[in-house]
Amino acid sequence: MRIHGARVFSPEGGFSVRDIGIRGDRLVPPEGACGPVINAAGCYAIPGLVDIHTHGCVRHDYSTAGPEGIGEMTAWAALNGVTALCATTLTLPEADLVRACSLLSSPAGAGCADIVGIHLEGPFVSPDKLGAQNPAHVQGPDGALFHRLQHAAGGKVKILSLAPERPGALELIGALGGEVVCSLAHTTADYETGVAAFSRGARHLTHIYNAMPPFSHRAPGVIGAALDTPWAMVELICDNIHVHPSVVRATLSMFGPDRVIFVSDSMMATGLEDGEYDLGGQAVQVRGSTARLLRDGAIAGSVTDLMGCLRTAVRVAGVPLETAVACASVNPAKAIGEFHRRGSLDPGKTADLVLLEEDLSIRQVYLRGDPIR
């Protein structure tokens, strides 16, 4: 297959009109393509998006769903331009996390986005910065528990979100080394503790600004620590609820576009109507584009998928399209060690790509070389 005439994204130079070749499930040079020629004039061609922080959608949650629910979530994600993801768990009892990790280690089904990793958001979080995490299941950092979960996942845990100020957290970060991306999250830590965590090997900040101390001129906190750590990358939820558009622009200016990762933090109500839903055993009320816990009104994840976040970043925050695409594909793929397989449209990579109309609506998704929309 040859896709002709699209404005094709490149991490190095924005967009340029050129052809894309697909053979089987791989991207190839255009001259190596065979089969039909697809006229994509007027479209943007971008890599399939990579969402490294998503809890669920269409009435299912990755922490609790069975194989059918996982299939429905990953199929819906693919249809909406997310072709790879890290299924993200919540702060839950060990037995529930072991079950989830085991189920999420299975290969993707036909027409489904690849689960390229698991993101453990908890249970090693601060009881004083829970956000929407369930206080009943918070635990102190425990390397043995992490390794039991990693074993259940078949080595598929890519990100561990934890609070670095908890006793034993810094030691755990140092011990895990390159085995997993340690991410600072749901934390009351100050700047010095954040610096210590990054010096021990942490290299990520989970949903920056949310469930952590604010970045202020006398107390920069973990945000300042991340800013001063050149290898640290930060997640940003661009749903126009979690972060103000001005702060989206400021974050990109401070960290630079190569260190910011757009994530959805989507929960089970994503793709559905207003109503009452569940998040980790807690009741959530969804109204419009906002989800809140009934117990205290805390924001309970997002009801916007990653493609919706990309559009919001461009339309509302004024982020250049090429920057938004990099933050939703290139950067997350690099963060979890997947850039050699996905995240750009270079020959040799998996043929995951999305054709967008001028208004950023989806014309077609190609998943592992097959058109699915």
CA dist 206 and 235 (Å) reads 5
Catalytic-labelled residue, pool 265, 278, 305, 370: 265
**From the CB of residue 253, how many other CB atoms can be counted at a distance below 10 Å?**
9
Instruction: Determine whether 265 is an active site residue.
Output: yes
CA dist 146 and 139 (Å) reads 11
Amino acid at the residue 370: D
**Residue 340: burial class (beta carbons within 10 Å; 0-12, 13-18, 19+):** exposed
Residue by residue, what is the 3-state secondary structure of the chain? CEEECCEEEECCCEEEECCEEEECCEEECHHHCCCCEEECCCCEEEECEEEEEECEECCEECCCCCHHHHHHHHHHHHHCCEEEEEEEECCCCHHHHHHHHHHHCCCCCCCCCEEEEEEEECCCCCCCCCCCCCHHHCCCCCHHHHHHHHHHCCCCEEEEEECCCCCCHHHHHHHHHHHCEEEECCCCCCHHHHHHHHHHCCCEECCCCCCCCCCCCCCCHHHHHHHCCCCCEEEEECCCCCCCHHHHHHHHHHHCCCCEEEECCECCCCCCCCEEEEECCEEEEEECCEEEECCCCCECCECCCHHHHHHHHHHCCCCCHHHHHHHHHHHHHHHCCCCCCCCCCCCCCECCEEEECCCCCEEEEEECCEECC
- Please give the structure tokens belonging to residue 31: 């001259």
* C-alpha pair distances (Å), 358 with each of 21, 45, 354: 22, 11, 13
| 207 close to 53: Cβ distance less than 8 angstroms | yes
Q: Which residues are catalytic?
A: 265
